Chains A and B, each alone.
Chain A
Amino acid sequence: MTNHWADIKNANVIIVMGGNPAEAHPCGFKWVTEAKAHNKARLIVVDPRFTRTAAVADQFVQIRPGTDIAFLGGVMNYLLSNDAIQHDYVKAYTNASFIVRADFTFDDGLFSGYDEAGRKYDKASWTYELGPDGFAKVDPTLQDPRCVYQLLKKHYSRYTPEMVSSITGAKQEEFLQVCKTIASTAPADRTMTSLYALGWTQHSVGSQNIRSMAMIQLLLGNMGMAGGGVNALRGHSNIQGLTDLGVLSDLLPGYLTIPKETDKDLDAYLAPRTLKPLRPGQMSYWQNYPKFFVSLQKAWWGEAATKENQFAYEYLPKLDKLYDLLAVFDLMHQGKVNGYICQGFNPLASAPNKAKVIDGLSKLKFLVVIDPLVTETSTFWRNAGEFNPVEPSKIETEVFRLPSTCFAEEDGSLTNSSRWLQWHFKGAEPPGEAKTDLEIVGELFGRIRRLYAKEGGTFPDPIVKLTWPYAIASAPSAEEVAREYNGWALADLPDPKDKTKILVKRGDQLTTFGQLTDDGSTAAGCWIYTGSYTDKNNMARRETADPSGLGLAPAWAWAWPLNRRVLYNAASCDPTGKPWDPRRTLVKWNGEKWVGADVPDFKVDQPPESGMAPFIMNPEGVGRLFGADKMAEGPFPEHYEPFESPLARNPMHEKPVASTNPAARIYAEDKAALGTAEHFPYAATTYRLTEHFHFWTKHARIPAVLQPEQFVEIGEALAKEKGIRDGERIKVRSNRGEIVAKAVVTKRIRPLTVAGKTVHTVGIPIHWGFEGLTKPGYLANTLTPFVGDANVQTPEFKAFLVNVEKLGVA
C-alpha cells in the first residue's frame, strides 16, 4: 500500500477492482465501512462476480475476467476528454509535460521496437527527448503534440464507452456512472483510494492493470494524499516483508537487483542503477544505490568484503535469464532441476497446471518440505485416488519433511500491507520436535559450511566467509537477525555537517539509511528497514495515540521507510508547500523545514520553491503517466486479451500477435496446452472464500466445518442452459485437466454480452485438496494455464477458459 489500512477512512470514493476485501481482508475492510458511515464515501466495485464487497457497494459493475485495462483506459479517456483532472498537480507532479522521442510509436496494438520472434521490445524509443544539458525536454503548456499529455489523450481516445462496453460486457450507462464518481475526486479537496489484490496481479497483464490505476490517481491528484493512493492488499501476512527483503529470483534486499552476467564488475553493475536526475534540481534518491549495496555486502560478508575485492561482488550469482517460479517449474519439467526446498510454500497447490508440477516434482532427486502443516506438495507422491492419481512406485524423488513452528511459537516481525513491521512474541511451545525456521536454516547452513571447511569444494568462499555473528550459531535469534537487517556502524561515522563530531559510534545501531556509506564503514542487510531496530526494537512499539486524527498511529510498530505512513506525502502539498486540502494535512513546509503528523517524504530542509518535485525515487522527480522503458509491454497500458479468451481476437487490434500480451513469455508446450473458445466456451476465474485461507485452514477444525466441501459457482442462465440444478455435481474441464465439484447456482454471476456474443463466467474457489480435515477435493490449479505476467511472471489464474458438464445427482 502507498497508504495504510486505517487511511481508507479518509477517502471520499473507494474503488475496489481486482480484490474482494470484505471476504479476503475482512478486518481491513471495516475502514471502508468507516469511510461510508462517517465520511459519506461512495464505494464502487468492479468485478466479474457480485462479491460480498459488492453487496455493500453504492455501485457494482460486472465485467468479463481480464478486461480491467479496457475499463480503466475508458476511465482515462473520460477524465481527459471531460477535463476532469487536477491540473496543477498534473502539471507539477507528473511527466505530462515531458517530450517523448519522435521515433516512439504505437500502431495496431504494438509499440515501436517489437521483435516478434523474441516476443520482446527494443525499448530505445520509449524515452524522453533530451536537451543538450542532458535533461529531459518539457513543454509546460502541454500543447506540444509529442508531450506525454497529448500522447496519453491520443492513446486512450480509442477507449470509447462503446469499446469499453463491447470488451468488458459492462453497460455504457453503468460505466459512465463509475467515471462520474471517479471524476468527482479531481478537485484538490476530494480523494479516491484504490484497493486491489490478486484479482489484478494474476493476469498476463497484471502489472499494467495496477499501472492503469496509478495513472488515474496521478491525473486526479490522489497520490500522496490521505485517503488516496494505490493500495495493494497483499495475500499473505508477510508477503510484503519477503518482497521487501528481496527473496525473489531477481532481487536483493530493499529492491536492489541481482547482477546480470553482463554486469562484469562492480562499476558496471552500479552505473545503470545509480540513477542521475533527469530534470534540474531533482533528488533522484537511487543516486545512493552504491551505499545501500555496499552496506548489504558488508552485512553479508563483513571483513571479506573490501574495497580491493569490489566488496565481494564476485560472491553474488550473475543471472543469464529469469529463474522465476514458472521458469523453474519448466526447468524441473525438463529434468534440469535436481533438488528443491519448499519452506512454508505449497507449490503443488499454488503453481499453475498441476499435472506439469507433479511431473516436475517427480523428476527431482530430492525435495525438502519445511512446514508447520501437512501439504499436498510434501505428499505429491501419494496416490489419493481421483484427486491425485499418481503411482508412488514410479516416483524416485527422495522427500524430507521437516516440522516448523507456527506464528504462536516464535518471536519475530511480519510486515503487513501498510508496510508496518509488527513484532510478535512467542506464546507457546511447538508440538513434538518442531523447530523455528531460523533454527532449521541455521542448522542446515552450519552443516554445509562445515562440509566446505573440511572437504573444500567448488567456490567455497562466499559460504565459509559469510558473516555469522549469532550467539548460538545453530539457532540465530530473531533479535540478532533484526539488528543485522537494520544495520550498524563498522567505524565511527563523522557528522557530515561538522566532521569533528561523531554522528554514530562504531558498533552502534543506525537510525536512518541516510547514515549508510559506500566506503565499507556501515553494514545494513536491508536498507529500507534501517530504523526498525535502533537502540530499541521499534517494531515492538504499541502506542495507540493518533494525534492527527488521520489514523496514522505513528508510534504503533514501525513502518518502512523511516516510519513514514503515507508514501509520496510531499505530493499532498501544492508547489508552495501548502497542503492541497487542510483537512488532510500530512506534512507541510513551515518556511524553514518540512513538518507534520507524518514523516515527510522529502529532503527535510529543501524549500518547495527550489523546484524539487515529490516523487524523489524517480530521476524525473515526478510520477510517470508515460512509463518510459520500465514495463515489458509498453509505456501506456493497452488492453490485451487473456491467453485464453472467449473472443477469437482482440476487438482493438487487427494483428494476431497483438491479441494477447505480445511481451509475455509462454513456453511452446504450454502454448499448445491452451484451450480455445470452441471447446471451452466459458470464462473462468479462481477466488478465495472468507472462511478459508489458501490451503492451510482446511487443516483447522472450525474453518473446515464452515466450508467443508469443494464447489464451483455458475450463473442461473448457464445452469438453465445446461440443465444443472443447485447442489448437483458437475465436471469442469480446461485443456489441462478436469475437476468435479458441487455446483452452486447463483445470481452473483450474470451472462455478459461481449463483442456481440454471450459470455458466461465460472467461479472456482481454490481451497480444497487431497490433504486436510475438509472433504477431499481437487486442487483448482488442475485447470489453470502456465503463463504469467510479462513483467513479473505472476500466473494468469484470474482469466482462463473452461467447459462445464452435467454429471448427475450426488
Chain B
Amino acid sequence: MNLSRRQFLKLTTSGIGATSLGALGFAPDRVLADVRNFKLASTTQTRNTCPYCSVGCGILMYGLGDRSKNARLRLVHIEGDPDHPVNRGTLCPKGASLLDFVNSPHRLKFPEYRAPGSSEWQRVTWEWALDRIARLMKDDRDKNFIAKNAAGVPVNRWTSVGMLAASASSNESGYLTHKVFRAMGMTALDNQARV
C-alpha cells in the first residue's frame, strides 16, 4: 500500500498512531526515515486561500495550538492544498512565502496617530482613535452634506470624505463597508478594481 505523506498524516491525525501504522507496513519512507517526529504532526491544520492574485489557490496553514481557549494559535507552516482543483498543491514564489507576510516585522500591531506637522507616530488606544475618527466624520458630514442640488432636487450626497476599500479583504468586509459608507451618503467610494 502506497501512502502519500498527506494521506499518512490524515490517518495519523484521525486517531491511529503512527507506530501502529508502521507496524502494519504502511510506512511512508519520507516520514519514518526521519528520527524526529514530523513537525506538522502536532499542529492544527486550517484551510485558507492565498490573498495575492486572483487564481485563489487553496492553502493549508499549520499552527501551533489546538484551538483551546487559552492557546494562542501561531502559524508555523503554509503550503498548497493538494485537493484544490486549480493549484493542486502548488504555489508560486509569493504564495510559497506567505508565512513571511503573516509574520512580517512590518505588521501593524497597535493603533497609531500622527499629529499635524509631526514627524512621528504615537501609540494610541482603539477607543481614542475610533472616537476621534467618528467625531471628525460626523462633524464633516453634518457640515458638508448636500441634501438638495441647485434645482432643489433631493440628492443626499456626502462628497467631502472618501474611501478606498480593500480588494484583498473578504466579501463580507467589502459588503459591510459598502453598506455602512453608502448609508452615510458617501459618493467617493472605490476599490482597486478602478486601478
Check A247/B94 contact, CB under 8 A, given A328-B162, A340-B163.
Answer: no
CA distance A429 to B142 in the complex (A): 38
A343 touching B170, Cβ below 8 Å: no
B contact residues vs A (CB 8 Å cutoff): 44, 46-58, 61, 63, 72-75, 78, 80, 83-88, 90-98, 100-102, 104-119, 121, 126, 129-138, 140-145, 147, 149, 153-180, 182-195
A414 to nearest B CB, angstroms? Answer: 5
Query: A309 at the A/B interface (Cβ < 8 Å)?
Result: no
B175 touching A325, Cβ below 8 Å: no
Query: Can you identify 22 A-B contacts, CB atoms within 8 angstroms?
Result: A239-B191, A241-B170, A247-B177, A261-B153, A317-B185, A325-B195, A343-B177, A345-B192, A366-B133, A398-B116, A398-B136, A400-B133, A403-B110, A407-B50, A413-B171, A415-B56, A435-B126, A438-B173, A444-B180, A451-B138, A526-B175, A690-B93
Residues from chain B with a CB closer than 8 A to the CB of A368 are 133
Residues from chain B with a CB closer than 8 A to the CB of A351 are 195
CA distance A242 to B172 in the complex (A): 10
| Stretch of A73-81, A478-486, A649-657, A723-731 with 4 or more beta carbons under 8 angstroms from chain B | A478-486
Residues from chain A with a CB closer than 8 A to the CB of B158 are 317
Query: A338 at the A/B interface (Cβ < 8 Å)?
Result: yes
CA distance A328 to B119 in the complex (A): 26
CA distance A793 to B195 in the complex (A): 8
B111 touching A402, Cβ below 8 Å: yes
A406 touching B101, Cβ below 8 Å: yes
B194 touching A432, Cβ below 8 Å: no
Residues from chain B with a CB closer than 8 A to the CB of A370 are 166
Residues from chain B with a CB closer than 8 A to the CB of A691 are 93-94
A434 touching B108, Cβ below 8 Å: yes
Which of B63, B96, B136, B177 has the most chain A CB atoms closer than 10 A to its own CB? B177
Query: A503 at the A/B interface (Cβ < 8 Å)?
Result: no
A249 touching B187, Cβ below 8 Å: yes
| Stretch of A36-44, A113-121, A416-424, A712-720 with 4 or more beta carbons under 8 angstroms from chain B | A416-424
CA distance A365 to B145 in the complex (A): 16
Query: A502 at the A/B interface (Cβ < 8 Å)?
Result: no
B179 touching A300, Cβ below 8 Å: yes
Which of B44, B74, B162, B180 has the most chain A CB atoms closer than 10 A to its own CB? B162
A415 touching B171, Cβ below 8 Å: yes
CA distance A442 to B63 in the complex (A): 28
Residues from chain B with a CB closer than 8 A to the CB of A373 are 104, 106-108
Beyond known contacts A382-B119, A437-B169, A437-B170: 8 more, CB 8 A cutoff: A261-B149, A323-B162, A412-B172, A435-B126, A438-B173, A457-B138, A697-B97, A701-B97
Residues from chain B with a CB closer than 8 A to the CB of A398 are 113-116, 136
A447 touching B131, Cβ below 8 Å: yes
Check A245/B175 contact, CB under 8 A, given A315-B156, A407-B51.
Answer: yes
B80 to nearest A CB, angstroms? Answer: 8
A544: nearest chain-B partner, CB-CB = B83
Residues from chain B with a CB closer than 8 A to the CB of A440 are 130
| Stretch of A228-236, A595-603, A624-632 with 4 or more beta carbons under 8 angstroms from chain B | A228-236
| Stretch of A20-28, A512-520, A800-808 with 4 or more beta carbons under 8 angstroms from chain B | A20-28
Which of A340, A407, A437, A702 has the most chain B CB atoms closer than 10 A to its own CB? A407
CA distance A393 to B63 in the complex (A): 45
Which of B54, B97, B179, B192 has the most chain A CB atoms closer than 10 A to its own CB? B54
A592 to nearest B CB, angstroms? Answer: 31
B40 to nearest A CB, angstroms? Answer: 13
CA distance A553 to B110 in the complex (A): 42
A339 touching B56, Cβ below 8 Å: no
B113: nearest chain-A partner, CB-CB = A400
Query: A320 at the A/B interface (Cβ < 8 Å)?
Result: yes
CA distance A437 to B168 in the complex (A): 11
A451: nearest chain-B partner, CB-CB = B138
Residues 706-749 of chain A, each 1 if its beta carbon lies under 8 Å from chain B, else 0: 10000000000000000000000000000000000000000000
Check A325/B173 contact, CB under 8 A, given A239-B54, A444-B133, A448-B138.
Answer: no
| Stretch of A283-291, A458-466, A639-647, A753-761 with 4 or more beta carbons under 8 angstroms from chain B | A458-466
Residues from chain A with a CB closer than 8 A to the CB of B168 are 236-238, 344, 407, 414
A342 touching B170, Cβ below 8 Å: no
B156 touching A318, Cβ below 8 Å: yes
Check A401/B138 contact, CB under 8 A, given A300-B183, A345-B164, A459-B185.
Answer: no
CA distance A422 to B59 in the complex (A): 11
Query: A347 at the A/B interface (Cβ < 8 Å)?
Result: yes
A245 touching B185, Cβ below 8 Å: no
Query: A556 at the A/B interface (Cβ < 8 Å)?
Result: yes
Residues from chain A with a CB closer than 8 A to the CB of B100 are 700-703
Which of A345, A440, A529 has the most chain B CB atoms closer than 10 A to its own CB? A345
CA distance A399 to B129 in the complex (A): 10
CA distance A247 to B45 in the complex (A): 33
B166 touching A345, Cβ below 8 Å: yes
Query: A97 at the A/B interface (Cβ < 8 Å)?
Result: no
A401 touching B73, Cβ below 8 Å: no
A249 touching B188, Cβ below 8 Å: yes
Find A400's partner among B129, B138, B142, B176 (CB 8 Å cutoff).
B129
B160 touching A336, Cβ below 8 Å: yes
A248 touching B176, Cβ below 8 Å: no
CA distance A462 to B115 in the complex (A): 32
Find A476's partner among B133, B147, B176 (CB 8 Å cutoff).
B176
CA distance A402 to B123 in the complex (A): 10
B192 touching A236, Cβ below 8 Å: yes
A233: nearest chain-B partner, CB-CB = B54
